[in-house]
A and B are shown apart, each in its own frame.
Chain A
Amino acid sequence: MTDFISYVLRGIPFGCVFALVAIGLVLTYKTSGVFNLAFGAQAYVSAAVYYDTHVRHKWPILPAFALAVIVVGPLVGLILDRVVFRFMRTAPHVARLVAALGLLVAIPQLVNLWFGQSPSFGVEGIWPSSQGSNFAVYHFGDYALNGDQVATLIATAVVVIGLSVLFRFSDIGLRMRAVVESSRMTELSGINAGRVGTFAWMLSSLVAGLAGVLLAPLFAQVNANNFTILIVAAIAAAAFGRLTSIPLTLLGGILLGIAQGLLGGYLPPASVLAQGLRPSLPFIALFALLIFWPAVRSRREVTDPLAGVDPPPPGLASLTRGRGLTWATRILAVVVATGAVAFVMGSNYWLLLGTQAVILSTIFLSVVVITGMAGQISLCQATFAGIGAFTTAQLVSEYHTSVLLTILAGAVLAAIVGGLLAVPVLRLGGIYLALATFAFALMFESILIPLDWVGGGAAPIKVPRPTIGPVDFANNRSFFFLCLAVLAVVSVLVIFVRGGTTGRFLDALRGSETAAQAIGINPARARIIAMALSAGIAGLGGGLLATQSGLAQPADYNSFLGLYWVVLVVTLGSRTVEGGIQAGIGFIVVDELLKRIGVNSSWEPILFGLGAITYARHPEGILEFQKRKAMAFVQRHLDRMSGKSQPADQLAGAGDGGAVAPATTPSSERVGAD
């Protein structure tokens, strides 16, 4: 019994931190409608500041705490609100989610530029004690808590009571509740909704900072990944509170902490279960909650009563061009593609990079399908690629099957997993697909990959190159052409599907789900097909990637990449096949460019992460948008030269809400490499 209680006690401080972060999430969601995935990153900022001042520069606890939590915390919130989210109050949920995702990718990298990449040990808590907070132990009968744990308990109690009082009894609390219902309605009654929103962001960011500083000593190091993963535990707790109730969220967080403490106490420490299950408990909890708890599902997303006055969401920049220009761009595309292939063939170094770019382009087409076509955010594309890679590796090493066949088998298996995952999750809709896929990615990574029959245990499994008859793809050049051929086939498939029935159904669902159902479209079926197709493409690419490097390495398919890929593709163009290919090439080229000019490679995720914020304005991606604008400009110029009077862009204002004319969409595609 004593053991039991001490395990429970050990879990409670962790639970309190989960709860703090979750309460911050709920607070942001309640007051700004943004499901802030970047919340963990905000916590990391404060933790890094506290560590830097207190441990590295030997500041006393109080000023370090004041700077990190009371100054930097709200400041981050202020900046995020002023620069990003105040412009998104009426943006669709997906756009807000993508912006948060971009920040989640960019913020930790920005902090690392200043703070350093290496994890920093020897973190001190905020509990004043002469021996250091970790060693100040307080005994309560048979049980003991250290200073950090006591500090966490106290801080959580203060935050929960303070926020409850604020929401229930204060004027600003009432205003915050009104703003989330409808910021415009609130403004009509004479309240500055912008200021209320800013206050809410600063408040929630303060909570994030507090959680960050409290959490660092519990993990014994300051490391960005801990904070990213922390968000999953917090989401599980927040889901328990149905994203609205602060007391229930607190309870959810504490229960999660206790469960983790108990697992840690009772499972033999060396077993696979203990090593995989304990850290992945939050993911499992979140997954189970989303799928089996009806209360989460029945919750409706807040709809603004004044939504009718919104302008329609921006369409794709319109693209109308004459036959001449279409042919000119096609010829240009062929010339550029041939040139690129010739250049890549020139050196072994570039051949390697070129092959990588082509394979990544294939994988990124999976994001085009699920995000660009179906309008859903899936954060486990890297996991699907991993499924493809590990299936390939296992089949080849166990059964010596032909490599090309095993790559296809990997793609099929990934498609099946994707479809099965979509069945329970897609009914949830909105932000939940993103959450559940992220939980799935982390679960896969921590439970399945370490297993022998999946990731191959300690050493990654070798994968040979395929052969077809006399052609041996061990030669890097012929392998490059194989990848190019796969990319071409997948591109054509995606273009066909988009122009066909499935693509039209998905377009309709993106436009209005209610109306799509009213004409007999089954939303779940259409989205499950999209998810399976997307997972299959990712699996195919993953198999190729393993074949290229010769190894199925878990690090190539980690969950963070799944986040990063989405951000990257959304920035460079998620609506078209061309956009996916741009993303594949951009990923490699930007990295290489940064290396050549000697800039820290963290700038790449920062660049794309911040780029993703523009998704709300340019859902086709900024690069794609600029390209279309340029194209429209050239077309106008051509028309003027040829003396034609009718303007080519009769769809009014390229980019400002015009839509793609159906007849011209196919011509905007280029098949194969750019």
Chain B
Amino acid sequence: MALLEARSISKRFAGITALDDVTLDVEAGEPVGLIGPNGAGKTTFFNCLLGMLRPDGGRVVFAGRDITRLPVYKRARLGFGRTFQRIELFAGMSVRDHLLVAERSHRGTGALWKDMLNLGRPKPDEIAQADATLELLGLLDHADKPIETLSLGRGRLVEVGRALMTEPKLLLLDEPSSGLDRTETDELVITLQTVQRERGTAILLVEHDVEMVQSFVSRLYVLDFGTLIASGTTAEVLGDATVRKAYLGEYV
């Protein structure tokens, strides 16, 4: 049984079929890619997985449990971590605070009476854990900086770190290369590979940068006009004639 099973997901917006019967699996610990040209329905699919949108048909099963109707924050607690295409950080907080708040949320120790007795402050082991993650991402030097002073590339790493602090079983990355240049993208890929290796986190990467996907994932799904047109190992899919026609076009 796969970690994430999306079964026949469909979504329509006012007569337009954005997703039609899309089925996708992610095994535990496996890096998987989902690619497709602009407007193929990648983000819609992503939002259906995360609970930002409710699919019109189909089911999302995570670790054997049907989560189709669960709200976003409950999915996060089950083990979904995510990053955003347009970066979403907490204004006014330091880098380390981003990780601490995620860790706190993961452990679910938010009782008001504990706060009132001053038991709610971060403990040394929590701070150490946050710092270990920052080190993994190469952000330790920036730990105390306000988030506003970071570049976009580092901001995205903070998002990864924040997601990792909730100890996700599956990390969903929404176009992590958008807005980054080639060098920054390469660095991000190396970091993500380290994370995937060291933490054993499954990753679903939604991208249109084929080069980035190629260097990272073992399996690939291709979406076009809301339907899945190919799936399989990366080499197979990228060699497929339909995919080349629909998506890669003449520039390969």
Q: Report chain A residues within 8 Å CB of B117.
A: 496
Could you give, for residues 89-104 of chain A, a 1 whenever the CB lies within 8 Å of some chain B CB and a 0 otherwise?
0000000000000000
For the complex, give the distance between the alpha carbons of A36 and B159 in Å.
36
A517 engages B97 (CB within 8 Å): no
Q: How far is the CB of A169 from chain B (nearest CB, A)?
A: 26
Q: Report chain B residues within 8 Å CB of A662.
A: 94, 96-97, 144
Stretch from B25-33, B99-107, B194-202, B224-232 that touches the partner = B99-107
Q: Does A460 contact B (CB under 8 A)?
A: no
Q: How far is the CB of A221 from chain B (nearest CB, A)?
A: 47
For the complex, give the distance between the alpha carbons of A270 and B166 in Å.
62
B94 engages A518 (CB within 8 Å): no
Q: Does B218 contact A (CB under 8 A)?
A: no
For the complex, give the distance between the alpha carbons of A409 and B97 in Å.
36
Stretch from B54-62, B82-90, B131-139 that touches the partner = B82-90
For the complex, give the distance between the alpha carbons of A516 and B86 in Å.
15
B116 engages A659 (CB within 8 Å): no
Q: How far is the CB of A68 from chain B (nearest CB, A)?
A: 44
Q: How far is the CB of A632 from chain B (nearest CB, A)?
A: 15
Near A by CB (< 8 A), chain B positions 115-132 give 115-121
Could you give, for residues 498-536 of chain A, a 1 whenever the CB lies within 8 Å of some chain B CB and a 0 otherwise?
011111110110111011111111110010010001000
Contact partner, B72, options A512, A517, A533, Cβ 8 Å: A517
Q: Report chain A residues within 8 Å CB of B96.
A: 662
Q: How far is the CB of B104 from chain A (nearest CB, A)?
A: 5
Q: Does A497 contact B (CB under 8 A)?
A: yes
For the complex, give the distance between the alpha carbons of A85 and B105 in Å.
38
Q: Report chain A residues within 8 Å CB of B192.
A: none
A312 engages B148 (CB within 8 Å): yes
User: Given that A523-B73, A659-B146, A659-B148 are known contacts, is A507 also in contact with B93, CB under 8 Å in the complex?
Assistant: yes
Could you give, for residues 44-58 of chain B, a 1 whenever the CB lies within 8 Å of some chain A CB and a 0 otherwise?
000000100000000
A500 engages B92 (CB within 8 Å): no
Nearest chain B residue, comparing its CB with the CB of A495: B118
A511 engages B112 (CB within 8 Å): no
Q: Report chain A residues within 8 Å CB of B119.
A: 500
For the complex, give the distance between the alpha carbons of A662 and B84 in Å.
25
B148 engages A514 (CB within 8 Å): no
Stretch from A241-249, A345-353, A433-441, A650-658 that touches the partner = A650-658
Q: Does A661 contact B (CB under 8 A)?
A: yes
User: Given that A499-B120, A659-B94 are known contacts, is A512 also in contact with B89, CB under 8 Å in the complex?
Assistant: yes
Contact partner, B146, options A500, A501, A502, A658, Cβ 8 Å: A658
Nearest chain A residue, comparing its CB with the CB of B121: A499
Q: Report chain A residues within 8 Å CB of B93.
A: 507-508, 511, 659
Q: Does B149 contact A (CB under 8 A)?
A: yes
Q: Report chain B residues within 8 Å CB of A141.
A: none
B88 engages A315 (CB within 8 Å): no
Contact partner, B120, options A496, A508, A514, Cβ 8 Å: A496
Nearest chain A residue, comparing its CB with the CB of B82: A518
B72 engages A504 (CB within 8 Å): no
B105 engages A505 (CB within 8 Å): yes
For the complex, give the distance between the alpha carbons of A501 and B93 in Å.
14
B91 engages A512 (CB within 8 Å): yes
Q: How far is the CB of B217 from chain A (nearest CB, A)?
A: 22
For the complex, give the distance between the alpha carbons of A503 and B119 in Å.
12
B148 engages A315 (CB within 8 Å): yes
Q: How far is the CB of A498 from chain B (nearest CB, A)?
A: 8
Q: Report chain A residues within 8 Å CB of B147.
A: 659
Q: Report chain B residues within 8 Å CB of A502.
A: 110, 112, 115, 120
For the complex, give the distance between the alpha carbons of A621 and B237 in Å.
58
User: Given that A501-B120, A511-B93, A512-B88 are known contacts, is A519 also in contact with B115, CB under 8 Å in the complex?
Assistant: no
Q: Does B208 contact A (CB under 8 A)?
A: no
B72 engages A518 (CB within 8 Å): yes
Count of A-B contacts judged by CB separation below 8 Å: 141
Q: Report chain A residues within 8 Å CB of B165.
A: 519
Nearest chain A residue, comparing its CB with the CB of B86: A308
Q: Does A599 contact B (CB under 8 A)?
A: no
Near B by CB (< 8 A), chain A positions 477-503 give 493, 496-497, 499-503
Q: Does B157 contact A (CB under 8 A)?
A: no
Nearest chain A residue, comparing its CB with the CB of B147: A659
Q: Report chain A residues within 8 Å CB of B74.
A: 520
Most buried by A among B82, B91, B101, B112: B101
A315 engages B146 (CB within 8 Å): yes
For the complex, give the distance between the alpha carbons of A663 and B148 in Å.
18
Q: Does B114 contact A (CB under 8 A)?
A: yes
Q: Report chain B residues within 8 Å CB of A661.
A: 94, 144, 146
For the complex, give the distance between the alpha carbons of A493 and B119 in Å.
11
Nearest chain B residue, comparing its CB with the CB of A506: B101
Q: Does B109 contact A (CB under 8 A)?
A: yes
For the complex, give the distance between the alpha carbons of A663 and B127 in Å.
13
A660 engages B115 (CB within 8 Å): no
Q: Report chain B residues within 8 Å CB of A657.
A: 148
Could you give, for residues 519-557 of chain A, a 1 whenever the CB lies within 8 Å of some chain B CB and a 0 otherwise?
111110010010001000000000000000000000000
A517 engages B73 (CB within 8 Å): yes
Q: Does B77 contact A (CB under 8 A)?
A: yes
Q: Does A316 contact B (CB under 8 A)?
A: yes
B89 engages A511 (CB within 8 Å): yes
A520 engages B76 (CB within 8 Å): yes
Contact partner, B166, options A505, A508, A520, A522, Cβ 8 Å: A520
Q: Report chain A residues within 8 Å CB of B50.
A: 518
User: Given that A312-B148, A504-B104 are known contacts, is A497 also in contact with B89, CB under 8 Å in the complex?
Assistant: no
B97 engages A500 (CB within 8 Å): no
For the complex, give the distance between the alpha carbons of A324 and B68 in Å.
57
Q: Report chain B residues within 8 Å CB of A313.
A: 91-92
Q: How far is the CB of B116 from chain A (nearest CB, A)?
A: 5
For the complex, give the distance between the alpha carbons of A308 and B178 in Å.
14
Nearest chain B residue, comparing its CB with the CB of A307: B86
Q: Report chain A residues within 8 Å CB of B71.
A: 517
Q: Does B162 contact A (CB under 8 A)?
A: yes
Could you give, for residues 148-183 of chain B, a 1 whenever the CB lies within 8 Å of some chain A CB and a 0 otherwise?
110000000001001101100000000000000000
For the complex, give the distance between the alpha carbons of A657 and B116 in Å.
30
Most buried by A among B102, B111, B144, B147: B102
B106 engages A512 (CB within 8 Å): no
For the complex, give the distance between the alpha carbons of A661 and B145 in Å.
8
Q: How far is the CB of A528 from chain B (nearest CB, A)?
A: 11
A500 engages B82 (CB within 8 Å): no
Q: Report chain B residues within 8 Å CB of A508.
A: 90, 93, 101
Most buried by B among A501, A502, A521, A659: A501
For the complex, give the distance between the alpha carbons of A505 and B89 in Å.
13
A500 engages B84 (CB within 8 Å): no
For the complex, give the distance between the alpha carbons of A504 and B109 in Å.
12
Nearest chain B residue, comparing its CB with the CB of A496: B118
Q: How far is the CB of B185 from chain A (nearest CB, A)?
A: 20
B89 engages A521 (CB within 8 Å): no
Most buried by B among A504, A512, A516, A526: A504
Nearest chain B residue, comparing its CB with the CB of A666: B121
For the complex, give the distance between the alpha carbons of A512 and B90 in Å.
6
A501 engages B104 (CB within 8 Å): yes
A504 engages B100 (CB within 8 Å): yes
For the complex, give the distance between the alpha carbons of A423 and B80 in Å.
26
A315 engages B73 (CB within 8 Å): no
For the complex, give the distance between the alpha carbons of A497 and B110 in Å.
10
Q: Report chain A residues within 8 Å CB of B89.
A: 511-512, 515
What 9 additional pairs, Cβ within 8 angstroms, besides A501-B120, A515-B159, A519-B102? A315-B148, A502-B110, A507-B92, A512-B90, A517-B72, A520-B166, A523-B73, A529-B112, A659-B147
Would you mind naming 22 contact pairs between A and B with Cβ atoms under 8 Å apart? A312-B91, A315-B91, A315-B92, A497-B115, A501-B114, A501-B120, A502-B115, A502-B120, A507-B90, A508-B90, A508-B93, A510-B92, A512-B88, A518-B80, A519-B76, A519-B81, A519-B106, A520-B74, A520-B77, A521-B105, A523-B73, A661-B146
Q: Chain B: residues with CB nearer than 8 A to chain A?
A: 50, 71-74, 76-77, 80-82, 84, 86, 88-94, 96-97, 100-102, 104-106, 108-112, 114-121, 144, 146-149, 159, 162-163, 165-166
